[in-house]
Structures are given as structure tokens and as C-alpha cells.
Structure 1
């Protein structure tokens, strides 16, 4: 089946004229005539009657026109959808992030610039977020302390500092100065699980400085750490970009080497030129 011939027939059936059909398809009138003649001869069927004033469909032509109108109507719908997506009027973006604090402002900007874009956000730890990106379950990802690798495009989002999270009534809470890392030696602490990037950064810094905190609890979320600190079960740690406005706790930056985390936005290098991914990457703050 020759789709060029069907397209020519569909145009004539819609326009009722070979001339208008040729204009619709941006081809010559003889080309339209040739396509339809070839279609009729191949299938030994008469689809059109040429009169002095217009072109009329035969009974078989009416039946075929109903089919081609539906068929090429779907093609036109597909073209409209793809064109809207190309212009970022519609589309869907899969985003992964290892925390909400960096990604939410970017999603707000995306929403303001491209209100027709639908976003699916998946939150997880650092390993889950990177895996989602590499397995193409996410188009873009907001990551912390990710190692460069072949095929992965990374763009800096800035850094954050590790802070101590203290109960509001703690003796150290009223001092706005940085807390020295050595002061946490032998202190009772409530920390995230060892796989947490914040925890790993803190543990490495403590190891290099010879600081040995006493870990009372290991918790699997930032919210749980905040609740444990508020209940005065111990001192927690938190990234400076994740500090909540909770009157029950106070955050103080910790002074010392190795207590800074790098944050990045990433995508697969081969997908970097996709317009929707480019649009999201462009929202990253300049650092």
C-alpha cells in the first residue's frame, strides 16, 4: 500500500478539488492526479468521478475516505502533540533527587516558565537517585557528592556545610559562632544511617580529626533526626541547606576540614540536548 497515493486521495476527498488538494500537500496538481490514477489502477477500483465543476466520490470512494480521514487525522494529532512538546507547551519530565530542598525551587521555576509540563518527582537517598538516572527511570537528577563518570553530564549547584542540630535548650544553642568539630568528641549523637551522604561526610571528617562521638540512635530520615534532637536524645547533624524552621531545634555550622558537600544536577550525556532536559538544566543557579 502506497501512503503517498492514499494521502493524495484523502486530500482530494477533503478539498473536493485536485487544485486545492495540491495546495494542501504542497505538490503539483499533475502529481496528485498521478497518485490517484495509480491507486485506482493498482486496485482496479473507481474512487472519484470528475465533473465539470467538482470532484465527487464514488460509493467505494466514500468508504475509503472515511478510513483515510481517520488515519490521517491521527497523523495530524500526532504532529500537533509532537510540535507542542518541541515548543515545551506540553511534555513530561521525570526528576529524581536525594532531597527536596534544592529541587523544589527549580520545579517552581519550571512550572512558572512552562505550565504545560508535567513533572514526576521521585525522592530517595543518593544511591537510589543516581541509579534512577543511570537506568533512565529519571531524565534529570539532583545529586550530592557524585563521582564524574563517562556518559554522565554534571553541572554544579553549589555546596553546603555540615551543621550540628541542637535542642533549643542546649547550652550551645545560644552561641551563633561555628562549633568546633573537636567539641563533639564523646558527645551523644543521633545520626542518619551510615549510607547517608551527610553521615558519610561527617564520619570521614571525624575519623581524620580523631573525633569519636557516641552514636545513640541511627535514623532513616531527616525528619526523624529532628524529632530525636527535639526530644533531647542527643545532638544531630544536618546539611546547611536542609535546616528547618523548627523552634524546638537550633543549627550551628561545624568548623573543620572536610565538612562541605558538593551538589550537582545531572543527566545522561547523550540525552543532554533534549529540549525539555535543556530547559531544566537552564534553571540551575549560576555558581
Structure 2
């Protein structure tokens, strides 16, 4: 799998099939925690502009291009025969992984994060869409600051469940920091920073139409749906992504993570 930096973030030049194959291979009898991230422009720009987040992203083993601007940036640097035709969208990657693991008892999923009601909806949705998929357990951590023993409580649940595919929906950047900072203490398995996928698949937040996604306009749809919460984030990090992309191109080289 070719790895190429986009504004310093090392992205895998892969599609859904390649990413799922890699994930399931790593989840088979894992001996360590393995971290996977589906990165959009927000993640890429934050990793470049925020030293602490950049350090966390260095701990991830596979980073796939979630946003179309990242795909376009990759394709500009790749030979024509290797160019990507689509992004690897985090919520869809989750569905593709669930689909590929259904009916295979060696793969067990754990859902970490979100509200209890959201997790209940998710389990019902996945059981209906993917008969035979093994959702080993789910856990909704407390809202706000966590008590001192919360890490031990969460990891004990993951370990006892026997899960080897752990979906972490704590929101960005909290989920990435949590995975990275505890990676050497987490039970073996593949850990995903999955962002809003829980809310999407539970039917609590609508996704952008496929046409808008294809043309890299999902951000506009989401701002229209949640302007107060998302306008500042998208404006800031989309602008930073463009700035770093232009500056790197003018320099004639990709910069490393801070």
C-alpha cells in the first residue's frame, strides 16, 4: 500500500477493498493495539497546525483519505494508473468492515462512545443490515470529565468482550488523543477514530447526498444543517488546508507533521 503525504499527513493510497482487507488482516489474532483514522481536511489541517494533535496522529498505523480534497491532492502526485476514483469515507468504511466480517466469528466489534440510546439504535441497525455480525458489546462513557478509573473500566469491558474491532466515537480530536495516548495500554485489536458515524448510522444526523459528497461539498451540507456548531470549524480548517496545500506546492515539497 503506497503512502503519500498530503500537507504532511501520511495517507494510504487505497480504496475500500484495500482498507478492509488490511484491517481484517491486522484484526486476526492481534498482539497490539492498531490505530486507524479516516482523515478529512479538518483532521489534516489540525494535524499540521496543532502540535499535540500532530503528535497523536503519528501514532496511527493507517490513515485513509476520507475527504475528496485529500483524494484530489493525492491524485495530483500519483501516476495516472494509480489514481484513486473515490475517497474512503469513514462511515462507509465502517459499514464495509461490518459487511466483510458478518458470519465470521473470529471478528467481534465493540462500540465505544455516544449516548446509550444511540448505541442501542446502532446495534439494532447493524443486526438487521448485517445478519451474523458479532457486536460483542457497547459502552457509553460519562459525559464531560471522566473519573480517574474510567480508562480501566472501558478497557476491562473491551478485553472481556473479546472484541478485536473497536469503533471509538468520542468526537474529534478527543477520540484520536485517547487512542494515541493509551495505545500501549489498550487491549489488542484495531481501533478506529470514527467521528460522526455513530450518529449517521443511528439515523440521528442526516448525511449529505451522494452527489455533494462526490464533488467535495459535504461540508456545505453539514454547515447548512448545523451552522452554529460547524461553521467556524469548517471555515477555519478548510482555509488552513488550502493555505498549507498552496504553500507546500510553492515550496515544491510536502512538509512533515509538526
* Length-normalised TM-score, structure 2: 0.27
Q: Which has the higher strand share?
A: 1
Q: Larger Rg: 1 or 2?
A: 1
